[in-house]
């Protein structure tokens, strides 16, 4: 592709979408890991209470009510765990990350050809549109109600994506030509 302005703008648009996909993947991976930590803490609480309840009940009979309440809380957590958003969101996050990482593999291959000048601006914009739609469809599929915005997680995801692009391409993946990668209040990463 020649060095024309439209071709450069199209390349920049595609590059920004590739960065956005990686930021989204990093953000949701961190979200998933946080959900997993909550689930693990809940599991540790349940294991501790169930193991310690019987022994403690015998030793501290005066506090039988406390242990009874803890045991009841554990039983309730066990009964409702599949209905808690953390469990559902963890599965959705894992599936989302897998889908987006597969998109990134294809997009990196396309980027190689785009950066080599094999496509004109219209062809690049067609590829960009397909990539942007895939990201949007995956967000809608796995997080129809959106994700909670977390600016600290966002900054970590952007830094992780920048490190990824620096390692792979020698370019930081930082915001290109004023692009902006933020969490959308309505749905997921945008």
Q: What is the DSSP string of 12-31?
A: HHHHHHHHHHHHHHHHHHHH
Rounded Cα gap, residues 17 and 174, in angstroms: 12
Backbone conformation region of residue 68, classed left if phi is above 0, alpha if psi is from -120 to 50, else beta: alpha
Tens of pLDDT, residue by residue over 8-17, are 899 999 999 9
pLDDT band, residue 185 (cuts 50/70/90)? very low
**Cβ atoms of 28 and 96 closer than 8 Å:** yes
pTM: predicted TM-score of the whole model, two decimal places: 0.71
Tens of pLDDT, residue by residue over 142-184, are 999 888 889 999 999 999 999 999 999 887 655 443 333 433 3
Q: Is the pLDDT of residue 91 over 80?
A: yes
pLDDT of residue 169: 87
């Amino acid at each position: 592709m020649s060095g024309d302005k439209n071709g450069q703008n199209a390349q920049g648009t595609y590059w920004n979408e590739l960065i956005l996909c990686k930021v989204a993947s990093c953000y949701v991976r961190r979200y998933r890991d946080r959900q997993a930590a909550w689930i693990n803490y809940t599991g540790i609480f349940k294991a501790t209470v169930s193991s310690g309840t019987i022994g403690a009940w015998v030793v501290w009979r005066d506090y039988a009510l406390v242990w009874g309440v803890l045991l009841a809380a554990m039983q309730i957590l066990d009964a409702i765990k599949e209905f808690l958003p953390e469990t559902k969101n963890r599965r959705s996050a894992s599936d989302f990350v897998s889908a987006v990482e597969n998109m990134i593999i294809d997009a990196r291959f396309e980027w190689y050809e785009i950066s080599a000048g094999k496509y004109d601006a219209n062809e690049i914009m067609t590829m960009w549109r397909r990539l942007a739609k895939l990201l949007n469809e995956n967000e809608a599929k796995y997080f129809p109600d959106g994700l909670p915005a977390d600016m600290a997680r966002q900054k970590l995801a952007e830094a992780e994506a920048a490190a990824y692009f620096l390692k792979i391409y020698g370019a930081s993946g930082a915001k290109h030509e004023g692009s902006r990668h933020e969490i959308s209040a309505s749905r997921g990463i945008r």
